[in-house]
Amino acid sequence: MTGPGTILVTGANGFVGRVLCDALAASGRAVRKAVRAVAGDATAITVGEIGPATDWRASLTGVSAVVHLAARTHVLHETAPDPLAACLHVNAQGTERLARSAAACGIRRLVFLSSVKVNGERTGERPYTEDDLPRPEDAYGASKRDAEQALARVAAETGLETVVLRPPLVYGPGVKANFLRLMHLVARGVPLPLGAVVNRRSLIYAGNLAHAIVTALDVAAALAGKRAELARLTGSLRVDSSRIRSELAWRPPFTLAQGLELTAQWYHARSA
C-alpha cells in the first residue's frame, strides 16, 4: 500500500486477530473489525456466520484492503456430521464470497491466512517449500486448500491482488489449545519425555505473524503479476521462510527467545 487506509480484519476478536489489530493501529491504519457476534466494541461490525451467502457490503464500504483471518478451525472432538462440508462452507465458500464482494467494491488487495496443514502433517529431511504439492490430511487443511484455489480464480477473473500466508503453529500471550496445555504441564512440573522425541517443528510468534501480515499489505502492490509465486509464502511443520524474506524483505521483529519469554510472562501473570 502507498499509505495508511482502513483495513477490514475478519476474526478480529480471535487470538491472531487481536494482535494484528494492535499492530495495524500502531502502523497508523484505521481498523474495521468484522466479528461473528456482538463484541461490545464500537469499531466492530457483526457479520454473522461466514458462508457463501454472507452479506459483506456494510463491512467493505470505505475499506482499502482486507485481512481474512476468520475460519472454522480444526477441532479434536468434531461434532459436525460432515466435517468436510462444514469446513468448506465457511473456509472455502465463505472466503470466495468475501473475495468476490471485495472485488465488486473496488478493493484491490486481500491477505488470506491459510495454514501449514494445506501442505500436510509432517515433513521428512527438509521443510516444505512453495513448490511442494499440497497434501492436506484433514477437513480443515482441505478446506484451506480449496479457499486458496478459489482466491486464485477470483484474482484471475477480477484483478483482486491476493496474498496467501501458511503459518505453522502460532504462539504468544493469549494462546490456547495444545500450546497452552503444554504450558500447564510445564508449570505443574509434569515430566515430559521431550528428550526422547527426535523431530523439528516450526512455530511463529503472534507478533511476528502480525508483522508479516502488515508487511504484505505494505509491499504487495510491487508484486502484482506474481500471484503464482505468492500462493505460498510460508509453509509446514518445518517452514522454509526464504520466500517471504526475499520477496517482501520481511524480517521477524521478535526472536524465538523473546517470543517465548513474552508468552511465559503472560502465562505466569494470568496464573498469579
DSSP per-residue string spanning 90-137: IIIIHHHHHHHHHHHTT--EEEEE--GGGT-S---SS-B-TTSPP---
What string of pLDDT tens digits covers the 272 residues of the chain?
Answer: 334 579 999 999 888 999 999 999 998 889 999 888 766 677 688 888 899 999 999 899 999 999 999 998 866 566 777 888 989 999 999 999 999 999 999 999 999 998 888 877 676 666 666 777 778 878 888 999 999 999 999 999 999 999 998 888 888 777 776 666 666 666 666 665 555 554 566 778 888 889 989 988 878 545 544 444 444 443 335 567 778 888 888 888 887 777 777 877 776 677 66
Q: What is the DSSP string of 13-26?
A: TSHHHHHHHHHHHH
Cα dihedral: 45, 91, 103, 227 (round 10): 130
The crossing angle, in degrees rounded to 10, of helices 177-187 and 256-271 is 70
Domain definitions of the chain by residue range: 7-171+202-254
Q: Is the dihedral of CA 73, 75, 79, 82 positive or negative?
A: positive
How far is 134 from 92, CA to CA, in rounded Å?
Answer: 15
Q: Output the pTM of the full model.
A: 0.75
Taking only Cα atoms into account, the Rg of the chain, rounded to an integer number of angstroms, comes to 18
* Annotated active-site residue in 128, 140, 171, 267: 140
User: How many other β-carbons are positioned within 10 Å of the β-carbon of residue 240?
Assistant: 20
CATH assignment, 7-171+202-254: 3.40.50.720
Residue 155 CA to residue 227 CA, distance in Å, equals: 8
Question: Is 267 noted as a catalytic residue in this protein?
Answer: no
